[in-house]
Amino acid sequence: MRVRRQKNRSAEAQLKRMEDRWPTLDAQIIRVPPTLLWVGPIRGFAMDYAVQVQWMFTSPRAVPIVFIREPKITPRAGTDFIDLPHLLYNAEQPEDSGLCLFDPDDRQWDGTKLIADTIVPWASEWLHHYELWHLDGVWRGPNAPGPISVGEIIRLEEARDAERA
């Protein structure tokens, strides 16, 4: 028996499902590069955030990325952006870093899945954990194996280098 591979969802299917499930997210289509954007509010734990979800729909391996627009995400007092857990860290503009919502090695998301049913709920969950992390510094969300922030990676590398010296 031959296993049938699922086809990637079309841009139209993604737009329709997002409109049905998240009507407050306004869709925009960018022609070059071909990208779908959804902009609007989603809820964290205690407050709403203006987000931007972007997906380059013509690239079969492209993954959606979520950016928080308002209020801007911030590090905890006494820390830096590199210490924010599960962030796609942008060193040039840290406040414009995307959210790390899944482990790509686990194949938790691919083009056969609907962004409205995966990425947006995961972003809401990330915001929930972010708000709680701001209170006490403990990230209660799921973790991929390994460090949870760029800062933790840097500190581990420095410790290894110090041991070798």
Q: What is the pLDDT of residues 7-55, one digit of tens each?
A: 889 999 999 999 999 999 999 999 989 999 999 999 998 999 999 999 9
Looking at the 3D structure of the chain, how many domains does it have?
Answer: 1
Structural domain of residue 109, as residue ranges? Answer: 11-164
Please say if the pLDDT value at position 60 is more than 80: no
119 and 108 in contact (C-beta within 8 Å)? no
Residue 1 lies in a domain: no
The most confident of the ranges 7-11, 39-43, 57-61, 99-103 is 39-43
CATH, residue 45: 3.10.110
Residue 42 lies in a domain: yes
